[in-house]
Amino acid sequence: MNLDAFWQALEYSPIGDFVAVSGWAFPALESAHVIGVVLVVGSIAIMDLRLLGVASKVCSVSQLSRDTLPWTWAAFVVAAVTGGLLFFSNASGYAANSFFQWKMVLLILAGLNMAIFHFFTWKSVHNWDVDCEVPTAGKVAGALSLIFWILVVTCGRWIGFTLGGFF
């Protein structure tokens, strides 16, 4: 099965068909997706701004991480599930959309950035957790994270305007 056939199979599946034709499913899922994305980006931005030294300086990095990480992961699950269901409604259209493609690439880059930070820089957090300068690697990770997530949101916003009738 080629990719086009796969996207169409998703699109014409019972789930894809339901989301596409239901009068309430798409807007409800889109609303939940936006709320999930806002919570993901907001909680990540709190941590990134702490890493950059511009916010939450009175809180240790590890404590801030413990406070925000559960919210980040819960919101990410909501955003991923609702985004996947929205994708089913027009899989071939989304898959061919350059803004959707860029959004997926940026999500992967954001994930790689986070993984590199946690596997390398985070290992020494006990040395710079409180009252110390965040190492350059932590600042770079925070800056890249903010950039990636702002671009994810930007591309996500443009998907709706480039998927059909607007251009």
Four-CA torsion 70, 136, 106, 30, nearest 10 degrees: 30
pLDDT digits (tens, 9 = 90+) for 104-142: 999 999 999 999 999 999 999 999 998 789 999 999 999
Band of pLDDT at residue 56, cut at 50, 70 and 90: confident
pLDDT (0 to 100) of residue 163: 84
pLDDT digits (tens, 9 = 90+) for 3-43: 999 999 999 999 999 999 999 999 999 999 999 999 999 99
Residue 154 pLDDT > 70 = yes
Average pLDDT along the chain: 94
The C-alpha atoms of residue 21 and residue 131 are separated, in whole angstroms, by 55
pTM of this prediction?
Answer: 0.93
What sign does the CA torsion over 54, 59, 61, 67 have? Answer: negative
The C-alpha atoms of residue 37 and residue 43 are separated, in whole angstroms, by 10
What is the mean pLDDT of the segment spanning 53-80?
95
pLDDT (0 to 100) of residue 166: 41
The C-alpha atoms of residue 70 and residue 73 are separated, in whole angstroms, by 5
CB distance 85 to 32 below 8 Å: no
* Domain boundaries defined on the chain: 3-162
CB distance 109 to 148 below 8 Å: yes
